[in-house]
Amino acid sequence: MASSADQLFVSDENYILVDICANLVNKKFNRDLESVIQRAKDAGVKKMIVLGTSLHSTKEALRLTRMHPGTVYCTAGIHPHDAKSWGDDDEALEVLRSVASNPECVAIGECGLDFSKDFSSPECQIQVLEKQVALACELNKPLVLRERAAFDAMVDMLARSQLPGHVVLHCFAGSSDQAAAYLARGCYLGVGGQLWKEPTVLQSVPPERILLESDSPFLWPNTRALPSEWRTALQPRAVRLLERYCSFQRNEPCCLPAVLELTAAVLGIGAQDLALRTTYTALSIFGLD
């Protein structure tokens, strides 16, 4: 149950939002997870998807869905940083298949290519990604991808692979040309707190190909870095939620109304219009009930 103080921050915009990436099994939420989830719901974030990034977090994410049925969903995947943990016997594949066979698990991922760090070799990342793409096709589940400093390799993989019906680029942080290339291949782009870095990239993206995400506890929306004409689009309660509960140290899913309003301002459309479009897209892609 939310406290009386939290109730003051219930969004008066009546948004209905879906957070396609809330890392709620992160240890930063151990102390007050129930309050975090309730705050998100009060802010209009009615459904949250917890991304699996390792075998452990994948299983924990599934466990969390059982505690919050109809609100929390999960994915099953191995992050590219952890690709080296896959092993030679494909035991990891069987764990992912087992979790992903549950209806609460709505996608395969977070998987992909991240050449910005050297935690796993590019060759290992590509091999592990290909196995997860094949699993998504086998189970007919959407694919949630991460790409950092690996655009050419990712586009090559997309071009030569059989893909599931829906592919989402989680926390897209590329250029306008890269966005166009992904859109041309039928991908959807996840938008979150990274918006402040290159907001104009979004202006060429159709609203129906955008999904909203907090990536909490990461990617705090640094609204101070945005031009004032976009910052003024933030409604008072979205600002208060952001200032009271979200920070660089720990972002929360309740930041999503602010992400929505900023994204709508960049696109030049109404926030409620964008809320309806992104929520419809998320419900359709992930089969959320």
Task: For residues 166 and 187, give the distance between their C-alpha atoms in angstroms, rounded to a whole number.
Answer: 7
Give 3: exposed, middle or buried? Use CB within 10 Å, 0-12, 13-18, 19+: exposed
Sign of CA dihedral 175, 181, 184, 189: negative
Residues in the chain predicted with pLDDT less than 50, given as ranges, are 1-12
Q: Which residue ranges are tagged as binding site for a divalent metal cation? A: 110, 170, 215
Token pair for 74: 């999960």
Return all residues near 217 (Cβ < 8 A) that are at least 6 apart: 23, 26, 28, 29, 249, 250, 251, 252
Q: What is the model's pLDDT at position 11?
A: 43
pTM of the model: 0.92
Task: For residues 200 and 207, give the distance between their C-alpha atoms in angstroms, rounded to a whole number.
Answer: 14
Q: Which residue ranges are tagged as binding site? A: 110, 170, 215
Task: For residues 167 and 39, give the distance between their C-alpha atoms in angstroms, rounded to a whole number.
Answer: 29
- What are 182-241's pLDDT values in tens digits? 999 999 999 998 776 777 889 989 999 999 999 999 999 888 777 788 888 899 999 999
Contact 23, 52 (CB under 8 A): no
Contact 187, 155 (CB under 8 A): no
Sign of CA dihedral 88, 136, 217, 40: negative
DSSP type of residue 233: T
Q: What is the model's pLDDT at position 71?
A: 98
Residue indicated by tokens 């599934």: 62
Position 268, amino acid: G
**Cis bond leading into 104, ω under 30°?**
no
Query: How far does the chain reach from its first CA to its final CA, in angstroms?
Result: 23
For the chain, the structural domain boundaries read 17-286
Fold adopted by 17-286: TIM Barrel (3.20.20)
Q: How far is CA 226 from CA 165, 193, 194, 232, 270, in A?
A: 35, 11, 11, 10, 18
Task: For residues 226 and 245, give the distance between their C-alpha atoms in angstroms, rounded to a whole number.
Answer: 20
Q: What is the model's pLDDT at position 13?
A: 63
Q: What is the model's pLDDT at position 1?
A: 43
